[in-house]
Each structure stands twice: as C-alpha cells, then as structure tokens.
Amino acid sequence: MTTAPIFLASAVIITCLVASSALAQDVDVQAIVDGQFALGGNHPMVRASGAKGTCVKGSFTPSAEAAGLSKAPHLARTVPVTARFSMGGSNPTISDKTKAVTRGFSMRLEDTEGDLVFVFISAPVFGAKSPEQLLNGIQLRLPGPDGKADTDKIKAFAEANPETTRQSAWLNARPVPASFAGVDYWGVHAYTLTNAAGEVRVAKLKFIAAAGQLGLTEEELKSKETSFYADELMGRLAKAPASFDLVAILGEPGDPVNDVTAMWPEESRKQVKLGTLAIVSMAPDATCDANTFDPVVNLPDGITGPANDPMFEIRSPAYAISLSRRAN
C-alpha cells in the first residue's frame, strides 16, 4: 500500500464541501466517513472505501450503437483509461478471500473535452437507500465499550430495513471471485443518456467481464493467499488484456430511479452495448491516488446522474472528506 504524497486541488475540495451544505442539514456526511474509517480500524492514509486496491491502465472503445444513446465524446472515440480495482471498506489489510464484501471498479475515461468517471461495484444494489439509513447502519456496527457490536440491534435494524440486506444476500449467494477480471460490475445508480438529437433514455450501466464469472470453490479458496488478486491480475495481463463490455440496461416506466437498493429486472430489459474496456497493464498506486474518482462532478454532456437520488448526491462531499483525510 503506497503512502505517496497526494497532490490536491484545494479549490475542488472546497467546492465539493460547499455544495454539500444543503445536504448537511439532513445528514452528517463527516459522521458517515468517520464511521467508515472506524469500521475498518482507522488506518491512516487510506480511502474510506476501497482502501485496498490495484491501479491499472487501459482504453475504452465505443460501439457503433453508443452514439445513438449518448453524445458524450467518450462514446464517440477510443479514449485512455486509468482505473482501480478494490476491495470494499477502509481496511487496507482485508483478505481478498472475504465473501460478503463488494469488489470495486472505479475508472477515469480521459478526453480533451473533460473526464468521465464511473464507480462500479460487484453487486447490482447498494446497502442503503438514504444517507440517514447508511449512517444508522454504520453506527450500529461500531464496537461498544466491550469492543463488540450489539448483534441484537443489528438484527433488529435489518428486520426493520430489509432493503439493506439485499447486497449482502447477493454476495453471499455467489462464490468469492477468483479475479478482479472475472466478475461483473454495476453502476447501481440510474443514469440519463442524451444523444445528439436530444433523445433521452434512463439506464443503469453494467460492465460484463469477458472472462465470465470466475468463482472459487471452498477448496480453491483455502489454497489462496490473503492477498492474491494483484498477482493474479498481473499474470493475467501478461498474457492478454482483461476486457469488459459496458452495457446500458434501458429502464421502463415504473423502474425505480432513486433507490439504489432496488434491482431492475435485467433479464426483461433491453440492453445496448456501449463499448469495450480493455485493461492492459498495472500502474503505480500513485497514479490512482493523486486524485479521487468522483462520478458526480466528472460527467460529460450526454450523461447525467440521477436528480433525486440522495445516495448519489452525497458522493462528492464524502469523497472530498475522505481525500482530505488521506492527504493529511
């Protein structure tokens, strides 16, 4: 894990925090980030989420169909990509064998007209539908004076908020991924795509692994080291790029667009391939650590995030707080 200096654009941090002032009236974003750090052991110089990760480089090549959905320049020509695979949470020593934790896939598609940033996870849903619910869930899991969380309170919270259990149920029903390149990743939020003709479609975005769903059996899992993903990925990339198809799952009337704990019925929704992301090489941690992957502020004309999704709205201030703490 690198502890290389992080070069901050302080004006961006200030802007993000000012923009969060309205949100602060409803939820304490600082408390959410502090709680995330506490759950992972309060390690210094790491992210509040995705503390353990691997930086990579590649490129994104759009499909012929992409322009029909969005006029974003990143969907019109091949662009370079800086990306980072990660394990969920703020513990940089978490085992790669952990099952009920999302694998993350953050990326920056770089273009002269501006960057496009996505933050995806290995589950189609998030673990909370509102900042308040997220904060309550975090605080319940913090250890008490005896060093342990109150399991009865956690159980009662889950029963009162069943939507918060969908992500863990999804992860527990599937094997531990054998590779960062062998699992699908979802954007969870509903995006609005606008093409050059002004036509608008609401969609959820998903990266589908070309390698397929590579899961480990219990026996295979036992033979793995605590940290095997980085070496596995390095060996894989030495042979060929790790590819993912980006697809837009088109929404229909009635599909929830402001609840990230709600799943869309993908099997009955039209899907359009937007392009292919090819990861070709490993990169130094500092390449990914010099900035933050903010999917709210780094969206080009032609792609917008949800207007009324509270979990999308708190991303910028939360990332700004996490980045500031990581830098000091």
pLDDT tens digits for range 118-159? 999 999 999 999 999 999 999 999 999 988 999 999 999 999
In this structure, how many other beta carbons lie within 10 angstroms of the beta carbon of residue 212? 11
215: DSSP letter: B
Q: pTM value? A: 0.91
- Distance (Å, whole) CA 269 – CA 248: 10
In the prediction, which pLDDT does 326 show? 83
Element holding 272 (H helix, E strand): strand 271-282
pLDDT tens digits for range 275-284? 999 999 999 9
pLDDT tens digits for range 185-203? 999 999 999 999 999 999 9
Question: Which of 33, 48, 13, 15 is closest to 320 using CA atoms?
Answer: 13
Question: Which of 242, 116, 113 is closest to 185 using CA atoms?
Answer: 242
In the prediction, which pLDDT does 7 show? 30
CA 174 to chain centre: 19
Is 30 buried (19+), middle (13-18) or exposed (0-12) by CB count in 10 A? middle
- Distance (Å, whole) CA 110 – CA 99: 32
Pair of tokens at residue 93:
């020593």
Question: Which residue is listed with tokens 């899992």?
Answer: 221
- Distance (Å, whole) CA 244 – CA 206: 9
179: confidence class by pLDDT, cuts 50, 70, 90: very high
